[in-house]
Amino acid sequence: MDTVPTTAPAPVTLGESFKYWLKLGFISFGGPAGQISMMHQELVEKRRWISEHRYLHALNYCMLLPGPEATQLAIYISWLMHGIRGGIIAGVLFFLPSFLLLSLLAGLYLAYGNLPWVQGIFYGIRPAVVAVVLFAAWRIGSRALKNQVLWTMAALAFIGIFVFNIAFPWIVLAAGLLGAIGGKLAPHKFKSGGGHGASAREYGPAIIDDDTPPPAHARFSWRKLALKLVAFVLIWLGAMLAIQGTPDLYNMGEFFTKAAFLTIGGAYAVLPYVYQGGVEHFQWLTGPQMMDGLALGEATPGPLIMIVTWVGYLGGVAKGVFDNPVAAGLAGAAVATFFTFLPSFLFILVGGPLIEATRGEIRFTAPLTGITAAVVGVILNLAVFFAWHTFWPQGTADAPFAGIFDWFPVIIAVAAFIALWKYKADIMKVIGVCALLGLVYSFVK
């Protein structure tokens, strides 16, 4: 059994932080649940940059926000460590590799159509994603759900979204209200972090530990809040003015700004809105092209909301915003991605100091603890959703078990989960092996 360290690691430079966020951008598979699990494993358990209590406090806030919660969590942690520069670096590097890869794939897709070897890789990655998400639910649940009340809330959240199809924002709201009430009636059930120093007892002291005061840049000030708000409004207005002369790009800027504020509950919650606008209203792409983009988004690193890069690229080409199709595609992809992610930086860099100021106050932390419990149930639902689409690929909402049952992905998913859970295998290696298995199987079956 490993000995728990007794001293905190040495402070991390911005350069060291840059290397980690760049690496994460290339390996952040598995959607938000997988990405959150990766960051927990690396930053809380191995590197000890931040304690579990502080990590969950930041995560709870990000789960409340519109936008990609894993991206915002990366921005929050890096901002806490290195200020605005750190937050911007982490946020950009989190989605930049995915932006480049999806833009490249969109160009290949339009030029050459479906590539069989790519489909084979996806065939192996999808069951790995099932295992990664299920493992994330187990990891977060086993650490955050410290009593029967929180376990019950997680179960109710799962039943609400899985059985009754209740929208994620309503589940978050209900969990927050129950947490607020519980914080008054039974505060001991809703204390986050498991008590003072709990994180250190399990993994050792962290650079940003349970009782580490917020650094100077993370302290709340109304003046700083107002200045940052003005700065973000000016950036948005400047970007909109820059594309005003190209109506299709201007429409994209407006549309994806609205979409960014509707993504409470993750990418799946906003997909119907993006589908309706991109396919039916603006006709940037077709329905089948949208579905192909979603499959690519699930199987490439970065947040799933990166589907907007795909939509923007195909939309730029379809509308001919420039004569050169590659330039048109890249312009559309850049506009869609920029306006989707700009609010994420706003929420963290403006709201972060206020969240740091409320840490440790039960009236603020109890609702967030309730939300954590609900999130565990929602992540489990996501694992079930992925499993269903992977094991019954022809299934529909009306006939969920229609068509053949694909047994090979089940074997891959079970083996991947055992590797993660029992043998503590590196997530990226597991995904790589699964991708190779899928590629080989697609050519021999």
| pLDDT at residue 49 is higher than 90 | yes
Residue 351 confidence (pLDDT): 92
pLDDT tens column, 187-212: 888 875 544 445 555 788 999 998 89
Residue 195 confidence (pLDDT): 44
Averaged pLDDT for residues 404-416: 94
Burial of residue 225 (CB within 10 Å: 0-12, 13-18, 19+) is middle
The CA–CA distances, whole Å, from 126 to 119, 160, 277, 408 equal: 11, 25, 27, 11
Based on C-alpha coordinates, what's the Rg of the chain? 22
Q: How confident is the model at residue 1 (pLDDT cuts 50, 70, 90)?
A: very low
Q: CB count, 10 Å around CB of 423? A: 9
Cross-strand partners of 256: none
Return the structure tokens found at 130: 């099932």
CA neighbor of 272 nearest in space, from 281, 102, 402: 281
Residue 272 confidence (pLDDT): 65
Question: Torsion angle, CA of 326/330/331/333, rounded to 10 degrees?
Answer: 140
Return the structure tokens found at 109: 């897709």
Q: Which of 115-124, 204-213, 324-333 is modeled with the greatest confidence?
A: 324-333
pLDDT tens column, 244-273: 999 999 999 999 998 888 665 556 556 667
Averaged pLDDT for residues 275-290: 86
Residue 298 confidence (pLDDT): 66
The single-letter code of the amino acid at 23 is K
Q: 19-41 as b/e, with b when 16 or more CB fall inside 10 Å?
A: ebbbebbebbbbbbbbbbbbbbb
Averaged pLDDT for residues 27-49: 84
Q: 176-199 as b/e, with b when 16 or more CB fall inside 10 Å?
A: bebbbebbeeeeebbbbbbeeebb
Residue 196 confidence (pLDDT): 43
Return the structure tokens found at 79: 């901002």
Return the residue matching tokens 């990609």.
Answer: 68
420 close to 430: Cβ distance less than 8 angstroms: yes
270 close to 263: Cβ distance less than 8 angstroms: yes
Residue 114 confidence (pLDDT): 63
What's the distance, Cα to Cα, between the start and end of the chain in Å? Answer: 43
Q: 107-118 as b/e, with b when 16 or more CB fall inside 10 Å?
A: bebbeeeeeeeb
The single-letter code of the amino acid at 326 is V
Q: How far apart are CA 124 and CA 120, in angstroms?
A: 7
pTM summary value: 0.72
CA neighbor of 73 nearest in space, from 389, 418, 303, 323: 303
127 close to 416: Cβ distance less than 8 angstroms: yes
| pLDDT at residue 136 is higher than 80 | no
Q: How far apart are CA 438 and CA 121, in angstroms?
A: 5
Residue 199 confidence (pLDDT): 53
Average pLDDT, the chain: 86
Percentage of the chain surpassing pLDDT 90? 47
32 vs 157 pLDDT, higher one = 157
